[in-house]
């Protein structure tokens, strides 16, 4: 038992590496196959007319993508990977601020709604409706408002804060909904127990409802963390905010023909950012929620 638990993280890492290698092999294999049917299209009319063909432009080779990380673009003496890394850090900052504000707003909504059934029934549909507005539609509005109307704050409003706000819009929702479920999760007996001790609402919230909702909250945080990265990137793209991964992806898409591997590198960094955000939450969960005798569920 002990040995297998010790090897758990190592084995998980090995499985992950194997998965990445298989993905690269599959990618390379299809690229070769697509190129082959492109070369020999007259020989395989059926397959050749259905499956997409490939070439170095549509699917740059794995080696080219790796090389793209280290290549220095023209008019630059910095490796492309290092440039994209800086952009990723910029986007991560937007996403983190958006996540933090989203957690506070979401938890606040959950706590307020949990206090009254009437309030909950009246307002939950509106919380859900908020998510039906497409992010791309509100992003420019938020940026314009930020530039023109936000002058009451003690600090100067910057465009990246608008992007954080857009990320918040995605992150508060799972926190509010799951948080509400978590706050309602204690059994009737547990609530009666607190009542029998004449515990105040505040006491019941802090000693019973919030601790009981931690597992619910962490599954929301995991969704929200990745959503905040998506929100930041989409926010940058649709609001035209410079400095982050979103703008970089847009730029690489526009000059795709001269360097397709660069777009792939930027997208891979974006994926890496999402994974990083997820793993950060998982680490906190491991430290906070894991208790003796309970297994952590991914």
Partner 1 sequence: MTSQNVPAVEIRGVSKVFNPGGSNEVLALEDINLEIAAGDFVTLIGPSGCGKSTLLRLVAALVGSSSGEVLVNGKSADQARLDRDYSMVFQKAGLFDWRNVARNIELPLELMGWRKSARHRRSTEMLELVQLQDFARHFPQQLSGGMAQRVAIARAMSFNPALLLMDEPFGALDEMTREHMQNEVLRIWSETNTTVIFVTHSISEAVFLSTKVVVMSPRPGRIAAVLENHLESRDDTARDSPEFFANVSEVRKLLRAGEN
Under DSSP, the state recorded for 42 is T
> Which of residues 4 and 294 has its CB atom nearest to partner 1 in the complex?
294
> Which of residues 11 and 207 has its CB atom nearest to partner 1 in the complex?
207
Pair 252, 259: CB distance under 8 Å: yes
Q: How near is the Cβ of 193 to partner 1 at its closest, in Å?
A: 6
Q: How near is the Cβ of 191 to partner 1 at its closest, in Å?
A: 10
Distance CA 54, CA 49 (A): 13
Q: How near is the Cβ of 220 to partner 1 at its closest, in Å?
A: 18
Q: How near is the Cβ of 297 to partner 1 at its closest, in Å?
A: 15
- Give the residue ranges of DSSP H helices in 78-200: 80-114, 117-130, 135-149, 159-183, 188-196
- Read off the tokens for 169: 């819009």
> Which of residues 10 and 198 has its CB atom nearest to partner 1 in the complex?
198
> Which of residues 1 and 57 has its CB atom nearest to partner 1 in the complex?
1
Q: How near is the Cβ of 286 to partner 1 at its closest, in Å?
A: 15
Distance CA 237, CA 247 (A): 6
> Which of residues 19 and 197 has its CB atom nearest to partner 1 in the complex?
197
> Which of residues 36 and 199 has its CB atom nearest to partner 1 in the complex?
199
Q: How near is the Cβ of 179 to partner 1 at its closest, in Å?
A: 16
For 205-244, letters b (16+ CB in 10 Å) and e give beebbbebbebbbbbbbbbbbbbbbbbbbbbbbbbebebb
> Which of residues 2 and 291 has its CB atom nearest to partner 1 in the complex?
291
Q: Tokens 């007259």 label which residue?
A: 42
Give 38: exposed, middle or buried? Use CB within 10 Å, 0-12, 13-18, 19+.
middle
| Nearest by Cα to 277 from 113, 151, 120, 88 | 88
The CA-based diameter of the chain, rounded to the nearest angstrom, is 83
Q: How near is the Cβ of 279 to partner 1 at its closest, in Å?
A: 23
Residues near partner 1 (CB under 8 A) are 187, 189-190, 192-199, 203, 207-208, 211-212, 214, 291-294
Pair 246, 236: CB distance under 8 Å: yes
């Amino acid at each position: 038992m002990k040995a297998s638990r010790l090897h758990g993280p190592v084995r998980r890492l090995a499985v992950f590496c194997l998965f990445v290698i298989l993905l690269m092999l599959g990618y390379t294999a299809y690229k070769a196959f697509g190129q082959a049917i492109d070369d020999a299209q007259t020989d395989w009319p059926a397959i050749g007319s259905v499956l997409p063909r490939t070439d170095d432009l549509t699917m740059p080779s794995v080696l080219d993508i790796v090389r793209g990380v280290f290549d220095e673009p023209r008019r630059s003496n910095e490796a492309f990977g290092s440039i994209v890394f800086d952009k990723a850090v910029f986007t991560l900052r937007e996403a983190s601020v958006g996540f933090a504000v989203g957690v506070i707003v979401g938890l606040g909504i959950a706590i307020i709604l949990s206090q009254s059934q009437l309030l909950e029934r009246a307002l939950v549909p509106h919380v859900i409706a908020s998510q039906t507005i497409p992010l791309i539609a509100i992003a420019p509005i938020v940026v314009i408002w930020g530039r023109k109307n936000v002058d009451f704050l003690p600090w100067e409003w910057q465009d990246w804060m608008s992007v954080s706000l857009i990320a918040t819009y995605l992150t508060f929702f799972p926190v509010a909904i799951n948080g509400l479920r978590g706050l309602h999760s204690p059994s009737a007996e547990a609530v009666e127990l607190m009542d029998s001790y004449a515990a105040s609402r505040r006491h019941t919230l802090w000693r019973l409802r919030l601790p009981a909702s931690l597992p619910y909250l962490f599954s929301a945080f995991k969704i929200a963390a990745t959503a905040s990265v998506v929100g930041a990137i989409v926010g940058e793209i649709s609001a035209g905010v410079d400095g982050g991964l979103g703008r970089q992806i847009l730029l690489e898409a526009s000059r795709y023909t001269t360097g397709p591997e660069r777009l792939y590198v930027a997208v891979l960094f974006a994926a890496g950012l999402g994974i990083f955000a997820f793993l950060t939450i998982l680490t906190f969960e491991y430290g906070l929620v894991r208790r003796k005798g309970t297994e952590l569920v991914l």
